[in-house]
A and B are shown apart, each in its own frame.
Chain A
């Protein structure tokens, strides 16, 4: 799953007491990160399977995936941004703007043009974020926060704040809801997208450069990494993912409104990434675990619904889980020093 466990250690030279001790400490320090959220996820999954008879039904599980499709896509790209030392708070607005764009253009043009335009919107927003952060050296938090207001405003302006019906656009609904092997295309697209981004981070030179740029930008630069370009690329991917998510949901839900998404989505995405064990400090993280993190949060919601627990508890539980996740992250960092 992660490159750190499949690989066999290559002993070099004889092993001294010191190096052996260090190795043991290293393993302990990383065990949480590598297995991480997977164990609590499996436990929660098992508990829900027992506690609720409705949970383990294929329909319910596919439903969860379908609902989480956009979040999963955005979080997969967000992981790259975070690992690269950035943060993207504008994804919620970009998501809404892309949905609105697709809806508006779809009224008069073919769905290909509509979807293409929406994706370009995401790309441009991401590029703008990346350039402002990398070239003008403005903190990514501020940049993307500001961008989220701008984009939200533009989306409201374009749509005059109205609900746009997308279900009436011929073929548009099928984009995310067409069934293949009784699984909707939204889930298939998400699967492919998440796998590509996860592999991009873990197995490619680009992924290595992202990790290096986020872990120690100065060292990466001096080692010959184009830190600026790498960071811009992560933001572009994030913008694209937000647009894809927006189009998927516009297609799934049959309507779109500029005030959807927003900061709530940005924070949900962030929560999923962090619960998945990606460090907010940058330099470490994994796309696989982000997916598990997002689904973990989704399972909590789904479980609470199925078990009829007061939905307000969801927020409280989610908050606590976030703190625990970040706390564990800090703790392992300190233990490793």
Chain B
């Protein structure tokens, strides 16, 4: 795909690093609540500077202040000796500071080239000069070594390619500082590799990258300097070479996290069978079969696009299966409505909690009780006292932390939002749970809480399928791992065979032609 090295005649004319970006004593409050308190940090031109911290630590806020998206209440930003007064992202752009947001900002119906030059079209008297913009696009892609068709419609691109469009847009504005907020969160591992190469090559060319990331391995591999934030305060800024994953976690949490995963409690080999999938075929999955026992945690690994989520949805009867059977506790699961599956004791936590999981504007209470309102109502009338009692119980079980159960879900941290879905699931008391990316975009503390929860639920007899793009997660939780490739279950790993190498080898194995 991309050959980031090819165009990099290393050392030759690295654009002269300009001034450093100096942030001094910035504070920001939202509705009287401090999000950032007296933070000072200096970003060396041409370096990769990572900002880390738990959700709510203020790293995104700091990134947005640097990018002009948010105006700080106090403190100043300066480029070298020149103070900057950034009022908007456009302001920041004129000073060479560009942001690539967590949610990509591309226009899906426009072409790649149109997106790249959006707002800065090559035009005469309002008419876009297509040939010129084509030429500029080519120069740009050659400079970074991207392989993108300028006329491809943006919506048809993969997430990684869309991100490249954003990066090109940043570069087309001659950015000297690029702020990237969780750039790899939605990428597969190969795409992430590519992104890392891009970030490195940006730095080599003198563009500083402010990298906001949850992934400590990514931060350690890429960054020159790492700044840790906690509760809106600056904890420390260190050279990446002096940091370890442990020291970073310690800095983020203010304590050390003893072990990332709770100990595995294997299910009895003769435990009753909870779920049987036989020769299941559905859109993008083919002939998948496996058996899952009560108390077992089954990990499903594979590259993005290997059909993991599709398999989950086919089992849940959300996607229509073309052939094959799904049996829950020995009885075939028929029909094709999530409602029926839930009633039969099969729960599903979808991969994207905002789009597919939660009612973001509704209260914690409503979100939790949604699937089992029948338990807290009589003849269609919601018994609110009973609902409150039940919801409180399930909030406690799933360790949801919210000031009140009337608070809208959108006000909670990512970790607590995810726990809301677990609370809803526990309320359904399913025999089988399929959790698709259960810890995506969740801070480290909540991750551990979710792992504990999964292990506890399995210990209580639930059969659980964990789908995850994070290999450690699958390895750390699962009693058994299925690896998927091209819509098929290709490999099953158990016991000591469950290693990172084995999973990767199976996931990347040459597809058998046929």
Contacts and interface: CB of A to CB of B under 8 A. Distances in A.
Contacts of A207: 382
Contact of A25 (B350, B360, B395, B411): B411
B308 to A, nearest CB: 16
A22 B412 contact: yes
Contact of B403 (A4, A19, A212): A19
Interface stretch (B117-125, B336-344, B455-463): B336-344
Interface in B351-380: 355-363, 366, 369-371, 373-374, 377, 380
A330 B402 CA distance: 25
Contacts of A20: 33, 403
Contacts of B413: 18
Contacts of A220: 359, 370
A336 B32 contact: no
A308 interface: no
B339 A23 contact: no
B404 A9 contact: yes
B371 to A, nearest CB: 5
A305 interface: no
A222 B356 contact: yes
A13 interface: yes
A222 B346 CA distance: 11
B411 A22 contact: yes
Chain A interface helix/strand/loop/mixed:
helix
Chain B interface helix/strand/loop/mixed:
mixed
Contact of A10 (B31, B56, B381, B392): B392
A19 B380 CA distance: 33
A225 B406 contact: no
Given A10-B392, A10-B405, A218-B356, A205 B338 contact: no
Given A17-B33, A218-B355, A218-B356, A208 B373 contact: yes
A25 B412 CA distance: 11
Contact of A9 (B356, B373, B405): B405
Chain B's interface size range is 35 or more
A12 B392 contact: yes
B402 A19 contact: yes
Contacts of A204: 377, 380-382
Given A12-B396, A25-B30, A225-B339, A203 B381 contact: yes
Contacts of B34: 17, 21
Interface string A196-220: 0000000111111101100110111
A209 to B, nearest CB: 8
B350 A4 contact: no
Nearest to A228: B337
Residue in A29, A223, A226, A337 whose Cβ sees the most chain B Cβ within 10 Å: A223
A143 B343 CA distance: 33
B292 to A, nearest CB: 20
A211 B381 CA distance: 15
B429 to A, nearest CB: 13
Contacts of B56: 18
A222 to B, nearest CB: 5
Contacts of A26: 406-408, 411
A181 interface: no
Given A211-B362, A218-B355, A283-B359, A22 B403 contact: yes
Contacts of B424: 223
B333 to A, nearest CB: 14
Contacts of A11: 403-404
Interface string B50-72: 00000010000000000000000
A104 interface: no
B401 interface: yes
B348 interface: yes
Contact of B370 (A15, A206, A225, A337): A225
Nearest to A279: B361
Interface in B388-446: 388, 392, 395-396, 399-408, 410-413, 424
A151 to B, nearest CB: 31
A4 B384 CA distance: 12
A310 interface: no
A76 B382 CA distance: 20
Chain A's interface size range is 35 or more
Interface string A173-213: 00000000000000000000000000000011111110110
A124 B415 CA distance: 46
Given A7-B384, A212-B359, A283-B361, A224 B405 contact: no
A221 interface: yes
B357 A219 contact: yes
B407 A22 contact: yes
B339 A226 contact: yes
Interface in A6-60: 7, 9-13, 15-26, 28-30
A28 B31 contact: yes
B377 A12 contact: no
A310 B337 CA distance: 57
B382 A12 contact: no
Contacts of A18: 56, 231, 413
Interface of A: 3-4, 7, 9-13, 15-26, 28-30, 203-209, 211-212, 215-216, 218-226, 283-284, 333, 335-337
15 contacts: A3-B384, A7-B406, A9-B406, A10-B405, A11-B404, A21-B34, A24-B32, A203-B381, A219-B350, A224-B370, A283-B359, A283-B362, A336-B408, A336-B411, A337-B410
Interface of B: 30-34, 56, 231, 318, 337-339, 342-343, 348, 350, 355-363, 366, 369-371, 373-374, 377, 380-382, 384, 388, 392, 395-396, 399-408, 410-413, 424
Given A26-B408, A216-B360, 8 more contacts: A7-B388, A10-B405, A18-B413, A19-B402, A23-B407, A205-B374, A211-B362, A336-B361
